[in-house]
Amino acid sequence: MSSTSSWITPATRPDLIENLVSGVDRYNPSNVSILEDYLYHQIRSQEYDCLANLAILKLYQFNPALYNPDVVINILIKALTALPLPDFNLCIALLGERPATANQDEPDPLPSLLPSLTLLHASLQQCRFPAFWTLFKSEELENLRDNYTIEVVGFEDSVRSVVVRAVRAAFTKIGRDRLGTYLDLSGDALNAYVSKLEWSIDQSTGIISVPPNPDNQVEATVVRENIQLPQLSKIIAQTALTV
Amino acid sequence: MSQRMALWAAEAEMDEDLHEVDLSLAMGSYGQNGLYEDAQPRIDEATMASFQHQMAQQAAFAQIPDVVKRFIVHFHQAVLENNLEQITVAYESGWNRLTEKYYAKTEWPEAEIIAPLVNDDQIFLILYRELYYRHVYSRLSPNIDDRFHSYENSCELFNYLLNSDGPVQLELPDQWLWDIIDEFIYQFQSFCVWRSKVKNKSEEELLMLADGGQVWSCYSVLNVLYSLIQKSKINEHIIAAKEGKSEEEINEIVGEYGSRHLYKMLGYFSIICLLRVHVLLGDFTLALKVMENVELNQKAPLTRVTACHVSTYYYVGFCYLALRRYPDAIRTFVSILNFILSMKQYHTRSYQYDQINKTADRMYALFAICNALSPSRLDDSILNIVKERYGEQFAKMSRGATEESIPAFEELFLYACPKFIAANPPPFEDPDALSAYLDAATTIEPAQRHLNLFISDVRAQASVPTLRSFLKLYTSLDAKKLANFLDADEEDMVQQMMVMKLASRSISRVGQEGSLLDGETISTSDLDFVIDDNMVHIVESTVGRRYAGWFIRNTEHAQRVFNVIRKSPLPVAKPPAPTAHVTPPQNAPPAKSGPKVSWAKVSA
């Protein structure tokens, strides 16, 4: 069981989607609505399936007529919180050239939102969490909040999961205030969040202990060469022959 | 609490990986086959004369040198007889020699002109055109007719293979089968790049492109590859072979097509080319996903054709780079670059030598990029070559994303990245949209888009090398103090530390079976740290020097040399008579697998 297996095949992925993602039916434009419905299902139920969403973008890439900017924006919002996995850039890589003939009836919201999404992604990727929250809550991003992220159930909590992944790896102890700015939480909300993580707070000092995990336990090691018998098999066989 | 498996602690199995190359297998396709003239069958004068007579009126035909005519007749005969050895000689040696001599700067005779030489054999003519157009693409500059016709010819060929009554009886050498599929994708990519340059197209070309329809469309190209994969049941074949099924059982599973070598290899090569197409289109996960059944080791069928072997590793390695799995990318490049180094003495005279060398050079550049982003001591010899070739850029890149280093990253990335393509043509069918397309300043070249994405990743870990060099000096240090040293805000610095932590972890296949996408989080850096509130604790791991690999390789080498010497006849001073022919092969370098080397063919 590899740590990527839930990324390659999330446990929540239905068989129908699995068949699409893994078979040649993924190229069939008439299947796009199935995948789009699945995306909206992910948005409502806090699930995430990167490969299925990439399959939508692939269909858009081959069939520009299918292009639906709202779907693309939602895919990018979901990919944003997959960090440190590279999902966001993998999605952008498939967006490619936009059709020059924009739909005249309805302006495409993606070109105006893409720079903001990219900035949000960059601040998360660079662990500049307080900056992320400031930007996210800024006036310029009102459109993104009111029309998109509000529909993504648990969006802010999934941003916090990105924070938690970074903090867990780097800290054994972290000040309460610092963590608060990273999570954009304070007071009781912060206490509740920390206790949900099962991290302990020392109320007198305000220091939070992060439980040991493979990344925050560091120790110096010396690696010595370890020679396995099979590596020597040719030499031994040869010696046996020449005797 | 267990630590992450460390990259630098997992090398033992890689050694095995890198050095288990079966040279004799890989060399097969490079064999210095007998010169074409030697193998010339005796085409009797009468037949030749009757051809001459029939076609006397055709000036074009008359201009074809006799040796070329004889070659074509002989080539056709070899294909008719499914004589793989003769086909290989004609394909690898004859064709290229005659190209050098007569067609270095012009096209080969058109298929229609040589048709009488081959009894108007349509199948052979399709194969001939395949070579004809490949020559046009590689030596000359194809015009729009060439591009359209080469597409049509490829379709005819695939149509014949896929839609005849049952599997066709044709047999072709692996090298040619690979070249057919590989060239198909190359021409697709070349077409996509060419059509995206709207500015320099003539009226006529624009009209043809507007009417082009499915010619070289993504769907048509994928359709060919998937059809070959499905017809040959190659994935089922690989799975069955992995499960240890017998040959009869496998043949049962793969059916009448898949049990034929030609279809099996075409299917197999189609998977590799699918990897390539997906990379060109920027879909790196799908690229690795289609490879899920293909094993990347030195015994895999893909190693039978060196060009295929090299190409596979290049594209897989690039996918890992795009997935930010730098240790996997490094490992992939090291493996193939070592292979190319070990092959060097054998393939210098191959007609693919230049191509392989170019790809290798690009992989050294990609290796430099990956190593700057995720320093590793995986292979010092490759690293040394990189420092020789890209020393200046490598030094800059290793210093992190400064204003100096970004241009170095850009330069190497653009030089070494695949030739990315846009999936869709400019709107040729709509003149208004086309002029809008021309005016739009927003149209960014695909390579530039991918470069921008890559640079954003580089910038994200910009300060890691500086932090690293500071941390190396301490075992524990107050965060405030460190911030002072760095002349940075403490909070900023703590955030950079988290970036550094994340950059020192990567998903990797090291020590793991499974598909190319599978992986485990590993630690990639010998320097690790943890922040305890305001104190930074730093540890460094050291790797003892490795001797075993070096000694094992050199002992094995010494044994081989010893064996060769032992087997050689003593240099007895004999009268200079019949022994002369025994010795010559011995002066060549010893091959790993012993006596089975291809120069044996010279005397055959």
Residue-level pLDDT at A38: 92
**Residue to substitute from B531, B536, B539, B557, interface A, most A β-carbons within 10 A:** B531
Residues of B in contact with A2 (CB under 8 A): 512, 514, 518-520
Q: Decide if A14 touches B, using CB distance below 8 A.
A: no
Residue numbers of A between 91 and 110 with CB closer than 8 Å to B: 92-94, 96-101
Residue-level pLDDT at B347: 58
Residue numbers of A between 45 and 74 with CB closer than 8 Å to B: 50-51, 54, 58, 61-62, 64
- B59-104 confidence digits (pLDDT tens): 777 788 888 888 888 888 888 888 888 888 888 888 888 888 888 8
Say if A1-99+107-153 and A171-237 have the same CATH topology. Answer: no
Q: Which two tokens stand for residue A152?
A: 């993504």
End-to-end CA distance of chain B: 65
Contact yes or no for B539 and A218 at CB 8 A: yes
Q: Decide if A234 touches B, using CB distance below 8 A.
A: yes
Kindly report the number of other CB atoms within 10 A of residue A197's CB atom. Answer: 17
Rounded to the nearest integer, the mean pLDDT of chain B is 79
Residues of B in contact with A129 (CB under 8 A): 495
Residue-level pLDDT at A74: 92
Q: Which residue has the higher pLDDT, B555 or B599?
A: B555
Q: Is residue B325 scored above 80 in pLDDT?
A: yes
Residue-level pLDDT at A73: 92
Contact yes or no for A96 and B546 at CB 8 A: no
Residue-level pLDDT at B7: 53
Residue-level pLDDT at B511: 66
Q: Is residue B584 scored above 90 in pLDDT?
A: no
Contact yes or no for B495 and A127 at CB 8 A: yes
Exposed, middle or buried: residue B459 (CB in 10 Å: 0-12, 13-18, 19+)?
Answer: middle
Q: Which residue of B has its CA nearest to A92?
A: B453
Q: Is residue B2 scored above 80 in pLDDT?
A: no
Closest CB to A100 among B437, B456, B544: B437
DSSP string, B255-298: HHHHTSHHHHHHHHHHHHHHHHHHHHTT-HHHHHHHTTT---ST
* Interface size between A and B, measured as CB pairs under 8 A: 207
CATH class held by domain A1-99+107-153: mainly alpha
Contact yes or no for B532 and A171 at CB 8 A: yes
Q: Is residue B147 scored above 60 in pLDDT?
A: yes
Residues with Cβ within 8 Å of residue B357, at least 6 apart in sequence? none
Fold of the CATH domain A171-237: Arc Repressor Mutant, subunit A (1.10.10)
Residue-level pLDDT at B271: 92
> A76 to chain B nearest CA, in Å?
14
Q: Which residue of B has its CA nearest to A235?
A: B556
Residue-level pLDDT at B582: 44
Residues of B in contact with A98 (CB under 8 A): 442
Q: Which one, of A143, A146, A147, A119, lies nearest residue A133 by Cα?
A: A119
> B79 to chain A nearest CA, in Å?
34
Q: Running DSSP on this structure, what letter comes out for residue B58?
A: -
Nearest 5 degrees, angle CA A155-CA A158-CA A164?
A: 150
Q: How sure is the predictor about B26, in pLDDT bands with cuts at 50, 70 and 90?
A: very low
- ipTM comes to 0.88
Q: Decide if A89 touches B, using CB distance below 8 A.
A: yes
Contact yes or no for B9 and A169 at CB 8 A: no
Residues of B in contact with A234 (CB under 8 A): 552, 556
Q: Which residue has the higher pLDDT, B544 or B365?
A: B365
- B490-515 confidence digits (pLDDT tens): 888 889 889 998 888 888 887 667 78
Contact yes or no for B443 and A225 at CB 8 A: no
Euclidean distance between CA atoms B15 and A228, whole angstroms: 11
Q: Over pLDDT 70: what percentage of chain B?
A: 82
Residue numbers in chain A where pLDDT is lower than 70: 1-2, 97-106, 241-243
Q: Tell me which of A64-73, A128-137, B8-17, B147-156 is least confident.
A: B8-17
Contact yes or no for A51 and B495 at CB 8 A: no
Residue-level pLDDT at B283: 92
CA B39 to chain centroid, in Å, comes to 31
Q: Is residue B288 scored above 70 in pLDDT?
A: yes
Residues of A in contact with B547 (CB under 8 A): 225
Q: Is residue B37 scored above 60 in pLDDT?
A: no
Average pLDDT over residues B179-208: 86
Q: How sure is the predictor about B418, in pLDDT bands with cuts at 50, 70 and 90?
A: very high
- B525-536 confidence digits (pLDDT tens): 888 888 888 888
> A152 to chain B nearest CA, in Å?
25
Q: Is residue B251 scored above 90 in pLDDT?
A: no
Contact yes or no for B501 and A169 at CB 8 A: yes
Q: Is residue B442 scored above 70 in pLDDT?
A: no
Amino acid (1-letter code) at residue A241: L
Q: Decide if A11 touches B, using CB distance below 8 A.
A: no
Q: Which residue has the higher pLDDT, B342 or B275?
A: B275
Give the domain ranges of chain A.
Answer: 1-99+107-153, 171-237
- B367-389 confidence digits (pLDDT tens): 999 988 888 777 778 888 888 88
